[in-house]
Structure 1
Amino acid sequence: MKISFDMDLLRTLVAFADTGSFKAASQIIFRSQPAVSTQMKKLEEMVGVDLFVKKGREIVFTESGAKFALQARQILSLHDRVADDWRRRIVSGKVRFGIPDDYAQIVLPNILNNVIDKYEDLSVDILTNTSPILIKMLQDGELDLAVIATSSPLEDDIVLRREEVVWVTAPDRDTHKQSPLPLALFSDDSPVYRTTLAALQRFSTSGGEEPLRFRIGVTSKSWVVLTTVAANGYAVTTMARSVVSSGLRILTEEDGFPQLGQIALVLRGTPDSQSIATSHLAQEILDFFKAKPVPN
């Protein structure tokens, strides 16, 4: 009897090999933990042997499972090389892609390097703007695909990651000790702005703590502007943890600053723009976030 392996099942198996748990594997392949367990049971049924065994409180590979994981990695490597070769030949056209400028700095260098290398006839028209404007452009048919920061993902959104919003200041200044606290924030249509103001409101009405007095001195749609203002000690700002420049300091509860909560970074397209080119760019973005851990 011939066995035809599903590449998705093999990728999940390799994800388990790389991470050591179903939970961690589920996070890097963007599936739920129960879905990962179901996939691995299906794979065990296909090959007719146990691939996993419970050891204490952990699930580990059996000898057969470890051997099969090595073979699966080889199969996927060959499959992906062949797929990349043919993908290069058939993917062409233009994709109109939007991304907030704070995330553009960490996403675009990696994505564009892969796209230019793999797809000779694919061009990407890139627009950076705030997430609310990118959402409207998607709705108006002006974009094919966008990475968006939001506090409320839609059902059809692909959640790339969830991460903390943090307080940021210059490392060698006492700006964060001023009262009222000078703030430089993303414009008021930003989910980071709304998350920040909601946290300040909770902190001011929680009781038991002296309210944090603040004034908003600068608002901007630009990550570069806010980073520059904070780095020069003019104000404290807030942003997603992963986009904080290495030269800045993150303030915590030990510094007297309340936790701000999380935002979601999602990938969103439109039903009218699902071309082959758009699908492949979306896959490059997914692969990038699967390989990039959420910052602690």
Structure 2
Amino acid sequence: MRNLDVTTLRSFVAVADLGGVTRAAGVLNLTQSAVSMQLKRLEELLGVPLLDRSTRAIGLTAAGEQLLSYARRIVELNDEVMSRLTDQVFEGEIVLGVPHDIVYPAVPQVLQRFAHQFPRMKVNLITSFTRELKAQFQRGECDVILTTEAVLEAGGETLTTKPLRWVGSPGGSAWKQRPLRLAFGRFCIFRAGAIAALDQSGVDWEIAVETESDRTIEATVSADLAVHTMIDGTEPRHLEQIQHGGQLPDLGAQQINMYVTDKGRKQVIGHLADQLRQAYRAM
């Protein structure tokens, strides 16, 4: 009887999600050689290659893709059993703050996995602007926050750096109009940079919508009445990145940063932070 090792499967899933051994090793707190050795043992046990190493970016073979879904389920079941039988002391609430525009696609998956691992813990998700989330964190009202910023402040860590994109209605033409009609929140951290880029490029603009409601912004933009800016890969299905061919200025890049409290429940909060770290680095 041959048995799969959960630790090895966890490393395999991390490499598949993060796209490489180096990133996986950082998330798992292992050395690169240790992760590589685990993957080698797994391939020897199954007798098939799992990773396609023919290109610079590591990909999965057909067998690796087939194993991945099983590996996820085995790891999740392992974590659920361990949490239910050994982690009963973890009860209470964690307050997680995330800007509205980066909730998807990562946060729902993280919350689902965390709920399986710590069924007695409640995660209270709040969404707001980066400035407000940082103020709440400073007041001790949030345990973990994610932010979208151009720089990292003391006490935080950068999970990923992604380009900022112009977004509009699918197939829309609002981006061609001059003055360019913009939809922004009053406290949107991207607003000043986008306006400065337009001014520097000589593109006339006007504020079409100024609101505190992200839903209002999305509705206006999806109706092709204005354009907006979002981090690459976070746009919802009813919006799309504008292929403007250089007619709109480049917006540079933004960091997705994480700040974690150092007060109490470090172990369970650390688990949530680890899952957020892995999810956003995989984006």
Q: TM-score, normalized by length of structure 2?
A: 0.72
Show CA shifts across 1:86-130 (max 9, x none). Answer: 455232111122111222343443233333333232112222111
Determine if contact 1:253/1:259 at 8 Å carries over to the other structure.
no
Number of the residue aligned with 1:218: 209
C-alpha separation between the residues in 2 aligned to 1:110 and 1:14? Answer: 15
SS in 2 for 1:212: coil
SS in 2 for 1:191: coil
Number of the residue aligned with 2:113: 114
Number of the residue aligned with 2:256: 265
Please report how far the alpha carbon of residue 59 of structure 1 lies from its aligned counterpart in structure 2 after TM superposition. 10
Determine if contact 2:183/2:208 at 8 Å carries over to the other structure.
yes
Please report how far the alpha carbon of residue 57 of structure 1 lies from its aligned counterpart in structure 2 after TM superposition. 8.6
C-alpha separation between the residues in 2 aligned to 1:59 and 1:218? Answer: 42
Long gaps (5+) in structure 2: 39-52, 59-63
Number of the residue aligned with 2:245: 254
Q: Normalized per residue, which structure has more helix? A: 1
C-alpha separation between the residues in 2 aligned to 1:285 and 1:250? Answer: 25
Number of the residue aligned with 2:21: 25
C-alpha separation between the residues in 1 aligned to 2:279 and 2:156? Answer: 17
C-alpha separation between the residues in 1 aligned to 2:86 and 2:185? Answer: 39
C-alpha separation between the residues in 1 aligned to 2:23 and 2:163? Answer: 17
Q: What value does the CA root-mean-square deviation take over the aligned residues?
A: 4.3
Please report how far the alpha carbon of residue 170 of structure 1 lies from its aligned counterpart in structure 2 after TM superposition. 1.8
Q: 171, 191, 197: which is aligned to 1:199?
A: 197
Matching of residues 44-83 of structure 1 within 5 Å = 77=75, 80=79, 83=82
Letter in 1 for 2:137: L
C-alpha separation between the residues in 2 aligned to 1:193 and 1:40? Answer: 42
1:128 aligns with 2:127: yes
Number of the residue aligned with 1:228: 219
Q: 270, 277, 285: which is aligned to 2:276?
A: 285
C-alpha separation between the residues in 1 aligned to 2:221 and 2:55? Answer: 46
SS in 1 for 2:225: coil
Kindly, what percent of the aligned residue pairs are identical? 20
Determine if contact 1:183/1:216 at 8 Å carries over to the other structure.
yes
C-alpha separation between the residues in 1 aligned to 2:276 and 2:116? Answer: 15
C-alpha separation between the residues in 1 aligned to 2:85 and 2:24? Answer: 26
C-alpha separation between the residues in 2 aligned to 1:80 and 1:249? Answer: 37
Q: How many residues align?
A: 265
C-alpha separation between the residues in 1 aligned to 2:249 and 2:181? Answer: 16
Structure 1 residues 128 and 15: alpha-carbon distance in aligned structure 2, compared to 1, 3 A threshold: closer
C-alpha separation between the residues in 1 aligned to 2:13 and 2:123? Answer: 31
C-alpha separation between the residues in 2 aligned to 1:254 and 1:288? Answer: 31
Show CA shifts across 1:5-45 (max 9, x none). Answer: 9x6x98557655x48xx9833345556xxx955656998xx
Letter in 2 for 1:191: I
Determine if contact 1:102/1:243 at 8 Å carries over to the other structure.
yes
Structure 1 residues 274 and 117: alpha-carbon distance in aligned structure 2, compared to 1, 3 A threshold: closer
Determine if contact 1:168/1:239 at 8 Å carries over to the other structure.
yes
Please report how far the alpha carbon of residue 276 of structure 1 lies from its aligned counterpart in structure 2 after TM superposition. 3.4
Show CA shifts across 1:210-230 (max 9, x none). Answer: x21111222234332211110
